[in-house]
Structure 1
Amino acid sequence: MSEEQRALFPEVHLFKKSVRERFLVALREIYRRHPAYKFEDDMAATGIHIQPSYANISHEYRVPRFLIKIGQYNFGLQDGFFKNMTEEVRNNEGVVAGYKSFKVIPTTISVSVRAFVEEESSDLADELNMLGVFALHGMFTQVGINIQDATIGETQEVERENDLFETQVIFRVEVPWEYQHGTGRGPDDPNIDIDIPDPFGKEYRAPGVYTVVHNRSTPKN
Structure 2
Amino acid sequence: MHRYLYIIILSVLSIACKPTPIDQHLEEIPKENLLEALLKGNERFSGDHPLHPDQTLDRLRDLSVGQHPVAAIVSCSDSRVPPELVFDQGLGDLFVIRNAGNIVGDYEIGSLEYAIEHLEVPLVIILGHTKCGAIGAYVDHDHDHSHHYSEYIQKIIDFIDAEEEEKAIPRDAPDFYERAIEANVLHGIHELKLKVPSVNELIASKKLKVIGAIYDVETGKVRLVEDPN
* Greater Rg by CA: 1
Measured against the shorter chain, the TM-score band is: under 0.3
Relative to its length, the structure with more strand (as a share) is 1
TM norm structure 2: 0.25
TM norm structure 1: 0.25
Relative to its length, the structure with more helix (as a share) is 2
